[in-house]
Structure 1
Amino acid sequence: MGKELLEIPPDTPVYTGSVTDIGCHIKLLLYYNGSELIKKTDLTVEQLKDFKFHKGYTYWISIVGLNDTEKVQEIGKIFELHDLTVEDIVNVHERPKIEDFDDYLFVVVKELLFDRESLKIDFRHIPMVLKDNIFITFSEEWTGIFDFLLKRLEKSKSRLRQRKSDYLCFSAIDVVIDKYFKIFEEIGEVVEDMEDRVLKEPDETLVEQVHYLKRELIFVRRNIWPLREIINDIIKADYTFIYEPTKVYFRDAYDHTIQIIDTLESFRDILSGLLDVYLSSLSNKMNEIMKTLSIIGTIFIPLTFIAGNYGMNFRYMPELYWHYGYFAVLISYVVIASGLIIFFKKRKWF
């Protein structure tokens, strides 16, 4: 497979995802202005090709299914997308980035997913295209991440309805960032549970989980760090389709990405500390065991001495034929052991 990819020209779209049973269709075509909202669902590429776009509306088009690269190419031709853009749309492993073309802005972000049972962290590929009054989102499958935006658009007094497509683009990116916060709350709960377990019942399974989650967080960092650069570029660069009033909101999103990265780094530090705590717990547990064994051994040393002394095979030992000798030895065992236990407790050795 790798050799075949090397032989493919760089502007040839090759789908690299795993969702292959959806095809490619327009899940949503929505257009609106301050007073009107019209929504169409489940359109074909042919219907999209015949659709007439008007300047008086802002359009949001959600395209689901990337495995049918021919249809994705057709959509690219409808909106005059560069071949390299189409290639990046179907390449689900493309890192988050922003590219400025003559008549559109291309942005790639990643939706964060977390399975609490397996601790597996994954991402969904979300390419976006921003034109003057058109905003297009692509996805392998419909995840519902933008359902909240749809509810906001249904409200006539919503800020979304009053602004242009650049604000819709910001809102979509902001929803993705909010999903990061939600997932990080779940990860934080898992980390807190690990902290409790490492003190109460440390075991090898916990160590494996800590190592696994640390590796997953490195994977998260590689995908979140570029998002900060994307938003920073939007704020500082003079992109054609990002207007100054919307940059204020991107500054707020930038602060959120910084907060996410700080939280991520704190998780990594905590997990690294958990490994140290685990080793310390094992050492303390071993010390407790050794202390207990040492106390037991110390108690039995004088008892063993007495038993060994009277176990010698000398013929003439005064106490050997004493009628109460055996009982006297037993009593001495009890007295000596009790005395040592009292002494150890007074010294707070156990």
Structure 2
Amino acid sequence: MPSVPSLPKRGSDKDQRNGDKDPAPRIRIPTARAIVDCGVYVDGTRLPGKYTHQAAMAEVREQGRGFVWVGLLAPDEGQMESVAETFGLHELMVEDAVHAHQRPKLERYDDVLFLVLRTVNYVPHESVATASEIVETGEIMVFVGADFVITVRHGDHSPLANVRHALEANQERLALGPYAVLHAVADHVVDTYLEVTQAIEEDVDGMEEAVFSPRSSVAVEHIYLLKREIVELRKSVNPLSNPLLRLTRSPGNPVPKEIRRYFRDVLDHHTTVAERIAEYDEVLSSLVDAALAKIAVQQNTDMRKISAWVAIAAVPTMIAGIYGMNFDNMPELHWQYGYHGVVLVIASVTVGLFVTFRRNHWL
């Protein structure tokens, strides 16, 4: 059977309109722009000199000991792919590192451990009534291998420079390897949880005092704002409990025994933070109920006042309405002191009603 000649492939209408021109090439940003710091550590000591991530990895594998610590700040896809190619990271890990907004989790890809932590920061403000945001969040991803650790940070807060300096000053701890860095980062993040919850406690106490003050008026929207921030904090903190448990107790855990002991302390601090957040959430729920009850009581008080004044105003309105009718034969219509008598009756009745309502705390 004779073969049918293939027809040339027809381009899309857009390609034809553009004259079949190739799209403009994408400008690649160097990986060094995203690297905050890169160091080589051998026996707990940082080797002198500056390294690229490729040179640092080559140095460690040439010596056959030590590890590399690379710190990145909000890398794009191209920058992260360069790092992944050097350290052999899985593509799914790279995707999570580039696209933030991940839940705290712990995953293992072959010999690489991947931990996602949510960072939180307390936004200073004069009062909850004037604040639009109380807690801001970010992320830190940690990749841990046999001879490297990579930290990827998203967000302007929670820098890791102090963590690195503290570890470099503790050679004995740093000599334990990359998992010592993993513990230091997790401990730093959980410590910030403690600081943020302590700062929020002042807002919760201030709101509680304002709600239960006798003559204060608190807008329920302010309580809702604080409760929304507590909910956001809970979503950032609570899911981390399972990864921390796995780092301390999971069978086949690659974390050395010495480091697991330190992770138990981190887990205890995390439990304290989770209990505080649950307590704040319960308090704010009670404050919402109390504020709504207070509003309902105030509305009832206002309605009683309005009803009392309406009753007082009804007396002169009724009498004036009766004597405003156009009839010739009406009692006391032509009496010389009729006007004064009507005014006296109106005044007596209204004063009597006012005293009665005042005595019953309606006015």
Matches within 5 A, 1:109-148: 109-113=117-121, 117-119=131-133, 122-132=136-146, 134-140=148-154, 143-148=157-162
Q: Aligned to 2:336, which of 323, 326, 336? A: 323
Match of 1:82 in 2: 90
1:61 partnered with 2:70: yes
Q: Offset of 1:134 from its aligned partner?
A: 3.7
Q: Offset of 1:235 from its aligned partner?
A: 1.2
Matches within 5 A, 1:213-232: 217-232=230-245
Q: Aligned to 2:313, which of 269, 290, 300? A: 300
1:48–1:341 CA distance, 2 compared to 1 (3 A): same
**Gap runs ≥5 in structure 2:** 1-27, 126-130
- Distance in 1, matches of 2:59 and 2:141, equals 22
- Distance in 2, matches of 1:347 and 1:211, equals 36
1:179–1:159 CA distance, 2 compared to 1 (3 A): farther
1:318–1:84 CA distance, 2 compared to 1 (3 A): closer
Query: TM-score, normalised on structure 1?
Result: 0.74
Tell me if the contact between 1:22 and 1:65 (Cα under 8 Å) persists in the aligned partners: no
Tell me which amino acid in the other structure corresponds to 2:140: I
SS of the equivalent of 2:332 reads: helix
**Gap runs ≥5 in structure 1:** 1-19
Tell me if the contact between 2:144 and 2:182 (Cα under 8 Å) persists in the aligned partners: yes
1:40–1:296 CA distance, 2 compared to 1 (3 A): farther
Tell me if the contact between 1:104 and 1:130 (Cα under 8 Å) persists in the aligned partners: yes
- Distance in 1, matches of 2:242 and 2:104, equals 9
1:170 partnered with 2:183: yes
Tell me which amino acid in the other structure corresponds to 2:164: L
SS of the equivalent of 1:106 reads: strand
SS of the equivalent of 2:333 reads: helix
Q: Offset of 1:89 from its aligned partner?
A: 2.7
Tell me if the contact between 2:53 and 2:86 (Cα under 8 Å) persists in the aligned partners: no
Q: Offset of 1:67 from its aligned partner?
A: 0.4
- Distance in 2, matches of 1:308 and 1:26, equals 87
Identity %: 25
Task: Write the deviation string for residues 79-134 of structure 1: whole angstroms up to 9, x where unpaired.
Answer: 33334333333332343222234433221212224656432755433221223454
Tell me which amino acid in the other structure corresponds to 2:105: K
Count of aligned residue pairs for this structure pair: 325
1:34–1:337 CA distance, 2 compared to 1 (3 A): farther
Deviates more, 1:53-62 or 1:322-331: 53-62
Match of 1:17 in 2: none
Tell me which amino acid in the other structure corresponds to 1:166: Y
Q: Offset of 1:333 from its aligned partner?
A: 2.9
1:249–1:153 CA distance, 2 compared to 1 (3 A): closer
1:118–1:39 CA distance, 2 compared to 1 (3 A): farther
Task: Write the deviation string for residues 170-196 of structure 1: whole angstroms up to 9, x where unpaired.
Answer: 121011112223333454455556556
Tell me if the contact between 1:64 and 1:142 (Cα under 8 Å) persists in the aligned partners: no
Tell me if the contact between 1:55 and 1:133 (Cα under 8 Å) persists in the aligned partners: no
SS of the equivalent of 1:319 reads: coil
1:256–1:35 CA distance, 2 compared to 1 (3 A): closer
Matches within 5 A, 1:1-350: 23-24=31-32, 25-31=34-40, 36-38=45-47, 43-52=51-60, 54=63, 57=66, 59-69=68-78, 71-113=79-121, 117-119=131-133, 122-132=136-146, 134-140=148-154, 143-153=157-167, 155=169, 160-161=173-174, 163-191=176-204, 200-201=216-217, 206-207=220-221, 217-317=230-330, 319-350=332-363
- Distance in 1, matches of 2:293 and 2:306, equals 20
Q: Offset of 1:265 from its aligned partner?
A: 3.1
Greater C-alpha Rg: 2
SS of the equivalent of 1:175 reads: helix
SS of the equivalent of 1:348 reads: coil
- Distance in 1, matches of 2:156 and 2:178, equals 21
Tell me which amino acid in the other structure corresponds to 1:329: V
SS of the equivalent of 1:345 reads: helix
- Distance in 2, matches of 1:107 and 1:321, equals 98
Task: Write the deviation string for residues 151-172 of structure 1: whole angstroms up to 9, x where unpaired.
Answer: 423545x874565432331121
Tell me if the contact between 1:96 and 1:107 (Cα under 8 Å) persists in the aligned partners: yes
Tell me if the contact between 1:29 and 1:39 (Cα under 8 Å) persists in the aligned partners: no
1:103–1:339 CA distance, 2 compared to 1 (3 A): same
Q: Offset of 1:197 from its aligned partner?
A: 6.8
SS of the equivalent of 2:150 reads: strand
